[in-house]
Amino acid sequence: MNAPMFASALPRLATRAAEAKSSIIREILKVTQRPEVISFAGGLPSPATFPVDALRAAFDAVLRDAGPAALQYSATEGDDALRAWVAARETANGIPTSPAQVLIVGGSQQGLDLIGKALIDPGSTVLVESPTYLGVKCQEVISGRSESGHGCETSDALVGAMPVVV
């Protein structure tokens, strides 16, 4: 296929953007959009299980109580009131937690990205279970880290694999 006639009007992309490849997750999601496909992927539950009515009630309550402020951006760490609520809930469940220990993210990819940036240097090897969440592979490519998958039944087995890799 030829480049679109307006291609010359597009800005020059950074090398990493121009060379970007579709992620594994994106390719899987393309297939799941086909009507004849029933996905058994762990990250794609049946829409019939979504608590639409409960979410509608929660959204209505938040918008009623906080108004337009509920739709505004908040700090990277998340809304202070929500962080305090999560910390109190975890503490009530026997896991002493302060709001400072809570980070609210928009999804697993954002969480992996922030954790990776905070705790892992580029070029580091990260041990993960095999098989692992596909999003880990996507973050590995984006961030320049390498992942080493190891089959294991327990976290002790994963920790035991460290000397082999290091």
- Condensed to tens digits (0 to 9), the pLDDT of residues 67-112 reads 999 999 888 899 999 999 999 999 999 999 999 999 999 888 888 8
pTM equals 0.57
Q: Could you tell me if 84 and 126 lie in one domain?
A: no
State how many domains the chain has. 2
Nearest to 123 by CA among 140, 142, 146: 146
- For 141, the domain range is 107-166
CA atoms within 13 A on the CB side of 131: 5
pLDDT value at residue 2: 45
Q: Could you tell me if 70 and 98 lie in one domain?
A: yes
The CA-based dihedral angle spanning residues 26, 28, 29, 32, taken in that order and rounded to the nearest 10 degrees: 160
Q: How sure is the predictor about 6, in pLDDT bands with cuts at 50, 70 and 90?
A: very low
pLDDT at 48 exceeding the cut of 80:
yes
